[in-house]
Amino acid sequence: MTTDSSQINVLIVDDEPNNLTVLETVLDEPGYRLVRATSADEALLALIADEFALLILDISMPGMSGLELAKMVKERKRTAGVPIIFLTAFYNEDQHALDGYQTGAVDYLHKPVTPAVLRSKVAVFADLYRKTRQMEQANRALLEEVAERRKVEEELRILNERLEERVIERTEALRAHEIRLRNAADAARLTYVEIDASKGQLLAADNFMAVMGYAWPEDPKDSFLKGEDLFLSHVAPVDRARVAAELREFAPGQPVASFDYQILGDDGIERWIESKWFVHEAADGRARNSLLTNLDVTARKTAGQELRRSDERFRQLADSMPQMVWTATLDGSIDYYNARWSSFTAFGESRNGDISKWADILHPEDAERCYEHWRSSIGSGEEFQMEYRLWDQRDQKYCWHLGRALLIANEERNALKWIGTCTDIDRQKRSEEDLRRVNSALEQFAFAASHDLQEPLRNVALFTQLLSQRYGHNLDEEGNMFMRTIVSGAQRMSQLVTDLLAYTSVFAVDENHAAPVNMESVFARVLENLGRSVQESNATVTHDVLPVVFVPEVHVEQLLQNLIGNAIKYRRDNEGPKIHVTVSSRENYWHFIVGDNGIGIAPEYHAQVFGVFKRLHATSAKYAGTGMGLAICQKIVEICRGKIWVESTPGEGSQFHFTLPCGVSH
Amino acid sequence: MNNEPLIMLAEDNPGDVFMVKMALSDASLGSKLRVLSDGEEALRFLADVEKDAEPVPDLLILDLNLPKYSGITVLEKIRASSKCSSLKVIVITSSNSPADRADAARLDAMHYFLKSNDVSEFLKIGSFVREALEARS
């Protein structure tokens, strides 16, 4: 049910519809909304559905009477306050019952109703209802306003609390920031003097003393005048006039470049200080605050001096060296060289940084080799080292030099530049070449001589024997003895020449003939070669599993043969030779031991057994030989870049140790 | 074996030639010996054999240290030839160097005979020659 909020509801109850129509006619006003009920039940239903300002009730109704209905209305809390106007017959006995109701809440009218009276009574109640409603509304609005105000107050309180927290937080952050700034300034050894233009004061930072070495005047009133005097009095005399000029030159609003000077602290320490002006315009554009920062740059200054001194020392050193010293960028252009270089190359300063200079002085035959090596050194980061010929401007000829260069890298291991030297090795190189020529000639000579010596010697030996065999009977015993001496002399000499030949031929096969050699097969061949003496001496020759070595094969065969042959030859009388070859692997070489149970060698002879023609035993049938075997062994091992030595106990046996490279040699 | 075997000796030293002759005679092999006194002569002989101007010999006793062309060079040419590629060769030399031994073995020499300065040792070459001739078939 929709209601116009300005209308008030009036419930009219009568069992007689005509009466209701009469009431409707009487109360036909826009301010009222009339609800009809023709019985108490209908009236109760209407009261439940709507709020009413007034109930106009016919007392006499069939079923529930008006009075009974009124009693129920008054008992219900929601409707107890609804005023009731009873309609009664005139002088009815119900009059007494009505007296029981409170005045104001209940009224009555006699039928037939006088329209004017009814209108006025209803108007009173309607007015009362309206006023009551207005008051209720006013009251409700008041309560709402109070609640609203409380809410606002609470919000305000919370806001206040938050604000306080923020203030505390910001203050703390500001303090921490200030501490950080101060720490930073302390760490940087930076202090400042602030000039408050409005007050004409100079205020120094807390760490002024620590940085500058003297204290700023404490009384701010004095500071403007005293501060400058005090400052200048601490500046080193040599810098004082200049610094004073810098201070005078300073005009507000016009920052000067930084200036540095030395200052003598009261603590006796000399410091280098760098000062700078900063000017701040105040908000009103008139006052200007200035900041004079002072930075302790002692470390930088002295490091610079140290660097210059070190650089100077380096140059003096480099210039006094007989070698050429240079530094170059990665592509090889030289960016520094010493005096020796410029006198050698006659390159003036103008050639500095010219990449072509290497090509100008390098021997054309060496250039490509040199560049290639250079490039590979840049790639690998390894030291560059090679021999090449450089054009000597003074003597107008090429001279051999040993060039060395190191790649200088930074901490990230990136190559930065080269530092190198060229050492004159011309004389060594030439004498080396001479020596090589002489050596090679000597070898050829020795080889030819020994071959050519063999034949006449053999002829002497053979034909003296033939002479003895065929014609010996024509000579006496002494004559025969002479011939035997000739034969043995010639044979011995022949053996010497043979061994000398073997010795010199070792040189002919150098490390360039090195190839992987399976020592197992070499060993088998050696045993075959030594077959007869192994058999005759009843020797046992055993060995570990032998490796593949990287040496000239002829050498390793001769080496094994000489050592095993010796072990058989120098056996003890009462015991068959037992020989074992031991092998052990080292990092980049093999270690061999040829051990025997022979007569051994006294310690004092250990070194000399490897000498040429060195023999420990008189020439005899038993220990035949020329003393070349071990000399050859030593030469072979040397050529193979190994070592050979002996350990031995006389009467127990000898161990000949030697080493051979296991990989491709460089 | 219809006629006497032909043995060639490439040797420049007359003393050694004498010794070989003595050894062959002592061994009574009934062979015919012809001497080539240097490497050049040896190669010329080889060329003649190729041209059928000379017969293929039954055995070559070859000194390694020959004038003009070394014994090894001669042996290489022999092995490369068409007629003498499988000729029996005994190397005689005063060199005991492994390199020479290796070369001789590589070029299929039957024996590597070290010239001794002892007569009886030297004469042992006779038995090697006999062995070589008997192996011929």
- Which three-class secondary structure string do you get for A350-382? HHCCCCCHHHHHECHHHHHHHHHHHHHHHHHCC
What's the average model confidence in pLDDT over A372-391?
A: 83
Among A95-109, A402-416, A632-646, name the most confident range. Answer: A632-646
**A330-372 pLDDT, tens digit each:** 777 777 888 888 778 776 554 444 544 677 788 888 888 888 8
Residues on chain A touching B16 (C-beta within 8 angstroms): 455, 458-459
**Residue-level pLDDT at A664:** 55
- The distance from CA B85 to its chain's CA centroid, rounded to whole angstroms, is 14
Could you count the other beta carbons within 10 Å of the beta carbon of residue A81? 11
Number of cross-chain residue pairs from A and B with Cβ atoms under 8 Å apart = 50
Q: Give the whole-number percent of chain A exceeding pLDDT 70.
A: 88
**A206-247 pLDDT, tens digit each:** 788 888 888 877 766 665 667 778 888 889 888 888 888 877
What's the average model confidence in pLDDT over B39-44?
A: 94
Please give the mean pLDDT across all residues of chain B. Answer: 90
Is the per-residue pLDDT at A570 higher than 60?
A: yes
3 state DSSP class of A7: coil
Task: List the single residue in A with minimal CA-CA distance to B103.
Answer: A554
**Residue-level pLDDT at A308:** 84
Q: Which residues contact A130 (CB under 8 A, 6 or more apart)?
A: A8, A53
**Residue-level pLDDT at A542:** 94
**Residue-level pLDDT at B134:** 86
Question: Which has the closest alpha carbon to A457: B18, B21, B13?
Answer: B13
What's the average model confidence in pLDDT over B100-129?
A: 92
Is the per-residue pLDDT at B102 higher than 60?
A: yes
Pick from B97, B102, B115: CB nearest A502: B97
**Is A455 in contact with B16 (Cβ distance < 8 A)?**
yes
**Residue-level pLDDT at A355:** 45
Task: List the single residue in B with minimal CA-CA distance to A469.
Answer: B119
Q: Is B97 on the interface with A (CB under 8 A)?
A: yes
pLDDT confidence tier of residue B111, bands split at 50, 70 and 90 = very high
More confident residue, A290 or A245: A245
d(CA A396, CA A398): 7
What's the average model confidence in pLDDT over A424-441?
A: 84
Pick from B13, B95, B117: CB nearest A461: B117
Cα distances (angstroms) measured from residue B14 to each of A361, A483, B62, B94, B127: 61, 21, 14, 15, 21
**Residue-level pLDDT at A457:** 86
Q: Which of B25, B94, B115, B123 to mutate to test the interface with A (most CBs of A within 10 A)?
A: B94
Task: List the single residue in B with minimal CA-CA distance to A454.
Answer: B94
Is the per-residue pLDDT at A551 higher than 70?
A: yes
**Residue-level pLDDT at B1:** 46
User: Does the global pTM surpass 0.95?
Assistant: no
Kindly provide the ipTM of the predicted complex, given to two decimals.
0.82
**Residue-level pLDDT at A347:** 64
Question: Which has the closest alpha carbon to A361: A322, A400, A315?
Answer: A400
3 state DSSP class of A57: strand
Could you count the other beta carbons within 10 Å of the beta carbon of residue A142? 10
